[in-house]
Structure 1
């Protein structure tokens, strides 16, 4: 029987590319969106799910299990970007970002684990970010939320190993998606002490996304992970220098690494 795959945030960007690729490979694919009615042309079914609302998570999982009888793979892909000087980002927006990028994926995992235990099998892939391995200027909240998901995956893996359920992280670098359009931007204030460096950094971040890799690369990487009998704890997918920056963080003194980042962002 074909494996059943659920992709949160599967209506666009990386999630859509992954879903379409897995569909071509013979998987039974379902995506999710807060507004599934907008995606009638999707090549695979889109179910309503808002990772910040537990009732929609429960309904989505129950609907899928009732329809297919199982969930073999969960890809926690739904996420939100956020930029701005940490001092100037409203607390409500910080909490909203963590609700989407951290608490949301945890609650989806909690919802699928009972079914995967019944099956005595399952794979959970958490899509994080290379930004989660370091505190990036004017992306500090995003880095923190994705870094938190990376760390909790390490703990989760050990807790669920007795149930024949695997979990892993996939951290993408910059890919050509619409994430920049959908993320929260703290406004650039003329009277802000951060006005010039934040404005310049924001332009640089948008350029990185616009010139990013094809999301198909992520799709192929996730396909390989699904077909790996013992997935690793962490995977990184992206430009060589983006992946290498994680290695540099391990081996360089903190002050030297910080200076490299500041030079990169022209701070």
Structure 2
């Protein structure tokens, strides 16, 4: 029987690549978008879902179950970028980012767990970020929201273990997607004390994304997780140095690691 997979944020970028690749592997794919009508040429089913709207989530999940009779894999991929000096990012934007990157995935998880419990099986993959393993300058809000999702996964996977439901994190590094275009950028203010370091860091971040890996690499990694009998808690996908930076954070003194980051960002 073909596994039924629900991918949030499936209309572009990493989510689209995952959906197309898994479709070729014979999975039944349902991607989500807030505006699925804008993607009539999608190579897999797209359903309307907004991770900030609980009613929207339950309607989408119910529609998938009604059509396919089950739900085997949830890939929490929908997310949003945000940059800026924390002092200057409006509170409403910080809250909006956490609503998308943390509370949104939690809402979708809550919506699918009852069906997976009935099935006595299921897999939930939370797409986090290598940035979630460290506090990055001018990306602190993003790092915090993704890092929080990593910890939620660690806790929740123990709570659902008795129901034969697995949960894991897959943390990508920089990939060549349109995330930079959709990211909230705090404006670079002429009179801001952060004008130069923030502006320079923003240019560096955008260059990393545009020069990033092909999202198909994430699709291969997700496929490997789905076809693994007992997935690990954490996976990292990206450039060697991005993954190695997590190892360095574990072994280096805090201030040495901080200096390494500051040198990288030329701060």
Q: Give the TM-score band, short-chain normalised.
A: over 0.9
Q: Give the Cα–Cα distance (whole angstroms) in 2 for the partners of residues 38 and 4 of structure 1.
A: 23
Deviation at 1:38, TM superposition (A): 0.4
Gaps of 5+ in 1: none
1:138 aligns with 2:125: no
Distance, in Å, in 2 between the alignment partners of 1:201 and 1:104 is 28
Q: Which residue of 2 aligns with 1:158?
A: 158
For residues 177-256 of structure 1, the aligned pairs below 5 Å read 177-256=177-256
Q: For residues 36 and 221 of structure 2, what CA distance do their matches in structure 1 show?
A: 26
| Map of 2:43 onto structure 1 | 43
Note the C-alpha offset of 1:233: 0.4
- The answer to whether structure 1 residue 173 and structure 2 residue 170 are counterparts is no
Deviations for 1:89-126, whole angstroms, at most 9, x for unmatched residues?
00000000000000000000000000000000000000
| 1:4 counterpart residue number | 4
1:135-158 Cα deviation digits (max 9, x unpaired):
000000000000000001000000
Distance 1:78 1:71 in 2: 18
Match in the other structure for 2:63: 63
RMSD: 0.3
Q: Which residue of 2 aligns with 1:262?
A: 262
TM-score (ref. length: structure 2) = 1.00
> How many residue pairs end up in the alignment?
267
Tell me the TM-score normalised to structure 1 length.
1.00
